[in-house]
Amino acid sequence: MSGCRVRVAALLLGLLLGGCQHPDIDALDAHLQALRERPTGHVEALPEQPLYHSIDYEPGERRAPFTPWLPAARAGADDSTIRPDPQRPRDPLESFALDTLRLAGTFTIHGRTMALIQTPDGEVVRLRPGEHLGEHDGRVETIDSGRLVIVELIADGRGGFTTERRQLTLSATGAQRTP
């Protein structure tokens, strides 16, 4: 039985290999030769590349060019206790940007100094120390004659808040930052 199988396998292999021969192989060779002899297109030479001049970076006192720049932490930026109080009732002047408010005057009654703030629509509102104004939880810290000092809570961009002092003066039309 095994001899019969070998003969059948050899016969099948012979037929398979015989079927791979193509009688028109000469026509295929002629066609390929004709393709090789056809004129080819002209390719322009590549333009000459400019020479690359590398520049060595000497950092010295400068920062590394591929590291992100982070400004020095401002006072209070790392203090996690500085946060606006979302439960605190809002004062009417907190709906205005601090730059749009104007100090109209200051006065003292029974030893308590108060300020008069003019809103953009011309309304004048009385303000005492500890009250709030501006869009950044600004709290009135002190009121002097002709000057109102406000402490605002400004988002530091890293999930925390920092304090910033600003002031309104009688001579100015809006708020200024104080150093």
Q: Where are the domains of the chain?
A: 98-177
Burial class (CB in 10 A: 0-12, 13-18, 19+), 70: exposed
112 strand-pairing partners: 109
Residues forming beta bridges with residue 161, ordered by sequence position: 155
What's the CATH class of domain 98-177?
mainly beta
CA atoms of 45 and 135, how far apart (whole Å): 65
The one-digit pLDDT tens for each residue of the chain (179 residues) are 578 888 888 888 877 777 666 667 788 888 889 988 888 888 888 899 899 888 887 878 887 777 777 665 544 445 567 888 888 899 999 999 988 999 988 988 888 999 999 999 989 999 999 999 998 899 999 998 888 899 999 888 888 888 999 988 886 555 554 55
- To the question of pTM greater than 0.85 for the whole model, the response is no
